[in-house]
Structure formats: structure tokens, C-alpha cells
């Protein structure tokens, strides 16, 4: 099979071409799925990830590493000619993951990506990319669902055909909770995570390339923040679920004020914000069932 990283690269070039010509009044999503058979998460990738986020059990990989390995299937779907939204400039709004069972490295995995829920948004159109990871069937066992993740993306300025533009939701006032951690992110954070994830979007790599694409400066990957949020906190044996939604980008280098709160025994609520401007960067939730 084609390595996913190659798919990802061709997806990006495809996107550059399509971004210009693609229809701007989308109606419907591709009905089919992108399926990758027998994908393996390599030991090298595990080690690279561990360099960034700390020790990893190769038999029970972190959720964000599974996302990194599986999400190129969704990229491929988005890069297809009939995909109704332009990939370039899409804004990552939210991620929701159910991590049912441990995902091991060096094991055949079935990855499937579909697109659903094309929806009008005050600033454009959103779409959900759903990626599932199954353990491949072998003699005596059927495929088994290990992990499923939904990523919500916003195509800014793209209007759904025949859809009313929903009113802008009022921004609720953000009052920073009590800080319990600080993440000091260096200027190389984006490049380091790009090397691990294969996501070399220029907005994460250098202040100049980021500014050229309309950003205030180079910004942290959303999934890097998710990886940091979960580092050392995922339960042994999986069975957990988590979500993260992004508010304002984290400009690199920078310090993120972080709060971890535990409203009940199985729920951890995480907030990241800018200490100077008191603007929220992200909010997240980790649910670990009490066994």
C-alpha cells in the first residue's frame, strides 16, 4: 500500500491546485470512504513521539499518536476532486476521540475515513472528518474497533448552497480558572511536532511563512496541544474518551497558562489560555471511566 505520508504529500499538492478552481457553493460530501488496509505504526514513529511527549508503551499508544498515524486517510478524502470544500486555509475547530481499546505499534490496522455533517457556520461551512481504527482480522479473530476520532474543520468564507447563514454566537466572557501548570513552548515546537506528525503546514514552521499565510506569527499545531494535554494522563488499557476545542491560536514561542480541574472522579477539564491577554486558547475534557 502507499505509505500514508506519501498520500499526505500528494494530498497537499492536489489541494494547492484545487484550492483555486474548486466550487465555492458546496452541496454534498463524497459518499464513499477512504480505507487503508494493514497500516502499521512504526517503532520509529513511536520513539519520535516519545521524544516530544515522554515515555510511550508501544502496546498501548497515546491517542494523539494514533490520530497522527490515521488522519492522513482523512486528508486523502479531503484532497479528492469531488470534496466540496477547499483544504487550504481550513481551520481546525474541534476533536473528539473515543479510545476504546489499546492500539499497538507494529500491528496491522484498518483505517477508514469518512466525511459527514456538512453544516453552515457563522464564518463559513464546517465538516466532520470521522476516522476509525480497527485491528485487522487474522485467523480466528474478526476486526475490532480500537479508536474513533472526529475532527471538525471550518472552511472560512465558504457558504453552503441554500443554507441560511447562522448568526454569530456571542463570545462568552472568559474568566481564567486557577492556573495549575505552565507550558513554555519554544520557537521550534511547530517544527518538532511537524517532524513527528508529518504535518508541515507552513503556519507552524516559521514566522515568515506563517505571516505570509495571514497568521499573526507561527502557531502551535492544535494536536500538539492535545498531545500535551493528555501526556501522562491516559489510562492503561484505554477505554477513555476526550475532546478538545480550539479558540485562539498559540503563537510560538509562547507560554500557555493551563488549568487541570477534576469536577468528579472520572472527568478532567483542561483549559489553556494566554496569561497576558486572558484569551482562551483551548478547552478540553478527558473522561476516564472509574473501573
Partner 1 sequence: MTSASSNTSKNSPKAAIAGGELRPAVIVGGNRTPFVRSHGKYATASNKDLLTATLDGLVARFGLQGEQIGEVAAGAVIKHSKDFNLTREAVLGTALDPRTPAHEVQIACATGMEAIGGLANKIRLGQLDSAIGGGVDSISDAPLVFSDAARAVLMELNRAKSTKAKLTALSKFRPGHLAPQAPGTGEPRTGMSMGDHQARTTLKWEITREAQDQLALDSHKNLAAAYDRGFFDDLITPFRGVSRDNNLRPDSTLEKLGSLKPAFGKDLGEKATMTAGNSTPLTDGASVVLLGSEEWASERGLPVLAEFVDFETGAVDFVDGDEGLLMAPAYALPRLLERQGMSLQDFDYYEIHEAFAGTVLSTLKAWEDEEFCRTRLGLDAPLGSIDRAKLNVNGSSLAAGHPFAATGGRIVASLAKMLHEKGTGSLGLISVCAAGGQGIVAILRGR
What is the smallest separation between the CB atom of 261 and partner 1, expressed in angstroms?
7
What is the smallest separation between the CB atom of 186 and partner 1, expressed in angstroms?
10
Of 166 and 275, the one with the shorter C-beta distance to partner 1 is 275
Cα distance between residue 23 and residue 138, in whole Å? 43
Residue appearing with cell numbers 463524497: 30
Count Cβ atoms below 10 Å from residue 218 Cβ, excluding itself.
26
CB burial class (10 A; 0-12, 13-18, 19+) of residue 76? buried
Of 169 and 290, the one with the shorter C-beta distance to partner 1 is 290
Cα distance between residue 216 and residue 199, in whole Å? 19
Is 150 in contact with 98 (CB distance < 8 Å)?
no
List 55, 162, 167, 184, residue binding partner 1 (CB under 8 A): 184
Q: Which whole-number Å values give the CA distances from 216 to 80, 105, 144, 274, 285, in the listed order?
A: 30, 37, 43, 14, 28
List 126, 257, 271, 283, residue binding partner 1 (CB under 8 A): 257
List 183, 193, 224, 246, residue binding partner 1 (CB under 8 A): 183
Among 12-20, 151-159, 243-251, 254-262, the segment contacting partner 1 (CB under 8 A): 254-262
What is the smallest separation between the CB atom of 92 and partner 1, expressed in angstroms?
24
Of 66 and 250, the one with the shorter C-beta distance to partner 1 is 250
The gap between the terminal CA atoms of the chain, to the nearest Å, is: 39
CB burial class (10 A; 0-12, 13-18, 19+) of residue 158? buried
What is the smallest separation between the CB atom of 183 and partner 1, expressed in angstroms?
6
Per rule CB under 8 A, is residue 262 in the interface with partner 1?
yes
Q: What are phi and psi of 30, to 5 degrees?
A: -60, 135
Q: Which of residues 43-102 bind partner 1 (CB under 8 A)?
A: 51
List 182, 237, 266, 279, residue binding partner 1 (CB under 8 A): 182
Question: Reduced to 3 DSSP states, what percent helix, strand and coil does the chain have, rounded to the nearest 5?
Answer: 25, 35, 40
Q: Cis before residue 4, ω within 30 degrees of 0? A: no
Among 75-83, 122-130, 137-145, 175-183, the segment contacting partner 1 (CB under 8 A): 175-183
Q: Which of residues 34-53 bind partner 1 (CB under 8 A)?
A: 51
CA atoms within 13 A on the CB side of 257: 13
What is the smallest separation between the CB atom of 277 and partner 1, expressed in angstroms?
11
What is the smallest separation between the CB atom of 182 and partner 1, expressed in angstroms?
4
What is the smallest separation between the CB atom of 268 and partner 1, expressed in angstroms?
8
Cα distance between residue 229 and residue 47, in whole Å? 19
Among 11-19, 60-68, 90-98, 181-189, the segment contacting partner 1 (CB under 8 A): 181-189
Question: For binding to partner 1 (CB under 8 A), which residues are involved?
Answer: 51, 178-184, 188, 257, 259-262, 268, 275
Amino acid at each position: 500500500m502507499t505509505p500514508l505520508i506519501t498520500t499526505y504529500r500528494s494530498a497537499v499538492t492536489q489541494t494547492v491546485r484545487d484550492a483555486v478552481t474548486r466550487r465555492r457553493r458546496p452541496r454534498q460530501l463524497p459518499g464513499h470512504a477512504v480505507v487503508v488496509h494493514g497500516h502499521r505504526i512504526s517503532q520509529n514513529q513511536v520513539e519520535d513521539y516519545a521524544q516530544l511527549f515522554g515515555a510511550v508503551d508501544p502496546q498501548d499508544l497515546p491517542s494523539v499518536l494514533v490520530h497522527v498515524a490515521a488522519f492522513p486517510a482523512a486528508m486523502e478524502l479531503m484532497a479528492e476532486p469531488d470534496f466540496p470544500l477547499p483544504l487550504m486555509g481550513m481551520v481546525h475547530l474541534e476533536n473528539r476521540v473515543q479510545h476504546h481499546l489499546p492500539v499497538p505499534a507494529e500491528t496491522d490496522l484498518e483505517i477508514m475515513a469518512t466525511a459527514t455533517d456538512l453544516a453552515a457556520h457563522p464564518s463559513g461551512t464546517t465538516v466532520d472528518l470521522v476516522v476509525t481504527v480497527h485491528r485487522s482480522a487474522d485467523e480466528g479473530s474478526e476486526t475490532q474497533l480500537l479508536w474513533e476520532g472526529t475532527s471538525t474543520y471550518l472552511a472560512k468564507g465558504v457558504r453552503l448552497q441554500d443554507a441560511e447563514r447562522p448568526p454569530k454566537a456571542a463570545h462568552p466572557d472568559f474568566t481564567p480558572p486557577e492556573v495549575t501548570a505552565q507550558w513554555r513552548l519554544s520557537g521550534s515546537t511547530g517544527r518538532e511536532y511537524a517532524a513527528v506528525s508529518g504535518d508541515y503546514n507552513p503556519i507552524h514552521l516559521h514566522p515568515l511563512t506563517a505571516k505570509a499565510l495571514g497568521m499573526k506569527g507561527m502557531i502551535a499545531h492544535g494536536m500538539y496541544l492535545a498531545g500535551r494535554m493528555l501526556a501522562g494522563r491516559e489510562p492503561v488499557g484505554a477505554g477513555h474518551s476526550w475532546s478538545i476545542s480550539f479558540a485562539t491560536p498559540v503563537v510560538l514561542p509562547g507560554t500557555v497558562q493551563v488549568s487541570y480541574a477534576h469536577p468528579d472522579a472520572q472527568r478532567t477539564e483542561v483549559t489553556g489560555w494566554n496569561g497576558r491577554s486572558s484569551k482562551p486558547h483551548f478547552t478540553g475534557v478527558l473522561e476516564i471511566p472509574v473501573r
